Amino acid sequence: MNRPDRKEDEVRRMLETRHPPVPADLAARATEHGSRLLRRHRALRRAAWTLLVVAAIAFAVWASMAEPWLTPPSETTPPLEGW
């Protein structure tokens, strides 16, 4: 037998055997787990957006106070003697 036929036979054997019993509360547990994951993802997404907005506001406040787009004043000026 070549390899694909052997795998197919294994799958057929697995499908022909009796299926294991499923817990009665499996659907309820899966629903609860899924809703918990959704709440966690929603909270993480909300926290990330809040952090992004706070960082943007902090940057805007810093930029308005420091005005980094302006050139700094010259530290040395030529002497004005002899005018």
Could you tell me the pLDDT band of residue 2, with boundaries at 50, 70 and 90? low
**pTM of model > 0.85:** no
Q: Exposed (0-12), middle (13-18) or buried (19+): which is 65, by Cβ within 10 Å? A: exposed
Residue ranges covered by each domain of the chain: 3-66
Give the per-residue pLDDT at 6: 87
- At 36-80, the pLDDT tens digits run 999 999 999 999 999 999 999 999 999 999 888 888 777 777 777
Give the per-residue pLDDT at 72: 76
